[in-house]
Amino acid sequence: MAELLAAARARLESDGSAELSLRAVARDLGMASSAVYRYVESRDALLTLLIIEAYDSVGAAAEAAAEARESGADPAGTWLEVARAVRRWALAQPYSFELIYGTPVRGYRAPEDTVQSALRMWGVIVGVVMAAYGDGSLTPAGPAFDPARRIAPEVYAFVGWTDPAAVPPELARTAARSATLFTSLVGAISAELFGHLHRVADDYALLFDVTIATAAAGVGLHVTLD
Amino acid sequence: MAELLAAARARLESDGSAELSLRAVARDLGMASSAVYRYVESRDALLTLLIIEAYDSVGAAAEAAAEARESGADPAGTWLEVARAVRRWALAQPYSFELIYGTPVRGYRAPEDTVQSALRMWGVIVGVVMAAYGDGSLTPAGPAFDPARRIAPEVYAFVGWTDPAAVPPELARTAARSATLFTSLVGAISAELFGHLHRVADDYALLFDVTIATAAAGVGLHVTLD
DNA sequence: CGTCGGAGAGAGCACTGCTCTCTGTTGTGA
DNA sequence: TCACAACAGAGAGCAGTGCTCTCTCCGACG
C-alpha cells in the first residue's frame, strides 16, 4: 500500500493528475493493473488519497513557517513568511498544488476525509490574524459592513468563540476580511503557475510579495517589504 | 464549423472540459469522429478555440459592467460591479471559468492567439485603477517598495506610458499592487466554485463582496458595501 | 461529359478505467 | 502433517477515448 502511494505520487509529480493512469502506476510496480484494485477502489479513490496527502503537506509547510518565527515576532512578517513557504511548496510540486487548488477532478466530490486536512491552511491564517488582533499590531482597515452571515459559525468556534453573538463586531469583520488572505494567496500562486502573469510581470517572486502585502494591508496587517 | 463550435460549447457546459470528448461532439452532430478532424486539428485545438471564446466572453462581461457606469461614477464602485459581473458570468458557465482559470489542460501551451483575449480582463482592471488615480479617489495604501522589476514594461505601455523610467514611483507601485485585484477576483471565484469555502461561509455572495472590497482597500480603492 | 477535390465513413491502433474469472501462495487450526 | 480458507496477483475482456489511414461518394468546374 505504501509502495502504491509512493508510485502514484511519483507519477503525479512527473505527469500531472489528468495523466495519472492506474495502469501506468501498476506497470511501475511491476504488477497487473487489476491487482491494484485490491488496494484501492478506483482511480478517483487513489486521487483522493493523494489529495489528502497534498493538503497535509502544504498545511504542514505553512504551520512550520509560522512556528519557525520566534514568539513575539510581528504577525504581519509571519504571514509573509507563511505565504512564501506555501509558494515554495507549490513551485516544488506544482501538480500537487493543481490537484488541490486547481480544477477539481471528475467524479470527485470532496468527501469529509479531506476537509480536516484542508482546514489546516485556514488555521494558520486565522492564527496569524488573531495574533495580530491580540497584540495590537492589526490596525483595522478594509471595508465596513454588517458582519452577520458573512462567515460560518464554525469559523468562530475554530478560534474558541463558542457564541457567535458575543463576538465583537470589529473582530467579526476582521475574520471575514481574512478570507482575502486565503483567496489572494491561492490566487497569486495559481496565476503564476497557470500562466496568467505572462506579459504582466517578469520576476514573479517580487510581484508575489507585493500581492501578499497588498492583500494584507486591506485586512490591516502591515507587511514590510525590503 | 460554427455548428461544431456550438456543439462543443454545449458539451463543455454540460460535462466539463475533462469530459469533452471529440467523439461525443461528433455523435451530437450525427457524423463520424474522423470527419471532425477535417475542421479541427486535435482535441486540444478544439479546446483552444473554446478557451479563446471564454476569454472573450468574460472580458466582454467585465467591459460591459465597466461601461454601464456613467462617467464620473466612483471607480471603486465600478470595480465592485465589474467583479460581481465576472462572478455572475462564472456561476452561469462554471466550466468555461474552469477552462481558463482552472488547471491548464494537458497538451495546451497557451499559444499567442489566446493572449490578446486574456488581456482584456487586465485592461478593465488597469482602467479602473487609473481612473481612480486620475480623479484623486485613490488614496495610496498598501506596502511601500521599489517598483522596479515588479511588473513588465508592457503594462506601462498598456496605459500609454511609453517610457517606463518616466512613470512616477507611486503610480508604478499602484500598478504593481493592482495585480492583487486580479488575483483576489480569480481566487475568490475559484475558492467558491472549487469548494474551498465549504465550512467557511454560507452566503458566498456576501463574502465575495467583502473579499473584493478588502483587496481593493489594499490598493487604495475604497469600496462602500451596503 | 470527365475530372478532381473535399466531406464524410469505417476500420484499426494504442491507450484508458474497470470487472470477471482463474491460479498460486500463504497462514492457520485440527 | 494435512486440509481448508483467505488473499494477492494474473489475464482476458468490455466499453470508451484520441488519432490515423484508406475508401467512397457527391458536387463543382473546365
Tens digits of per-residue pLDDT, A114-147? 888 999 999 999 999 999 999 999 998 989 999 9
Q: Do B142 and A180 touch (CB under 8 A)?
A: no
| Cα of A3 to nearest chain B Cα, Å | 26
A163: CB partners within 8 A, 6+ apart: none
Q: Distance (Å) from CA A42 to C1' D14?
A: 17
- State, as a whole number of angstroms, the distance between the CA of A43 and the C1' of D8: 19
Whether the Cβ atoms of residue A167 and residue A161 lie closer than 8 Å to each other: yes
Looking at residue B204, its pLDDT comes to 97
pLDDT at A155: 85
Q: Which parts of chain B register pLDDT below 50?
A: none
The distance of A152 to chain B (nearest Cα, Å) reads 4
Which candidate, A191, A190, A186, A184, places its Cα nearest to that of A210?
A184
- In chain A, the residue whose alpha carbon lies closest to the alpha carbon of B191 is A183
A136 phi/psi in degrees, rounded to 5: 85, 0
> Are A225 and B143 inside 8 Å of each other by CB?
yes
Instruction: Find which nucleotide's C1' atom is closest to A45's CA.
Output: C17
User: A194: which chain B residues are within 8 Å (Cβ-Cβ)?
Assistant: 101-104
Residues B212, A217, A166: CA angle, nearest 5 degrees: 75
Which residues 107-166 in chain A show a CB within 8 A of chain B?
A: 110, 115, 118-119, 122, 141-145, 149-152, 154-155
Q: The whole model's pTM is what?
A: 0.95
- Residue A10: band (very low, low, confident or very high) from pLDDT cuts 50, 70, 90: very high
Residue A107 confidence class, pLDDT cut points 50, 70, 90? low
Q: Does A73 touch chain B (CB under 8 A)?
A: no
Q: How far is A178 from chain B (nearest CA, A)?
A: 8
Q: Which residue is nearest to nucleotide D22 (CA to C1')?
A: B34
Q: How many CB atoms lie within 10 A of CB A87?
A: 22
Does residue A111 have a pLDDT over 70? no
Note the pLDDT of residue A60. 98
Interface test mutation site (partner A, options B51, B55, B97, B214, max chain A beta carbons within 10 A): B214
State the residue for C-alpha cell 512564501: A84
With a cut of 70, say whether residue A106 has pLDDT above it: no
Instruction: Render pLDDT for A60-100 as a digit per residue (tens, 0 to 9).
Output: 999 999 999 987 789 999 999 999 999 999 999 999 999 99
A195/B191 Cβ within 8 A: no
The burial class, CB within 10 Å (0-12 / 13-18 / 19+), for A193 is: buried
- How high is the pLDDT of residue B101? 96
What's the half-sphere exposure (Cβ side, CA atoms, 13 Å) at A195?
14
Of A183, A164, A170, which is closest to residue A130 (Cα–Cα)?
A: A170
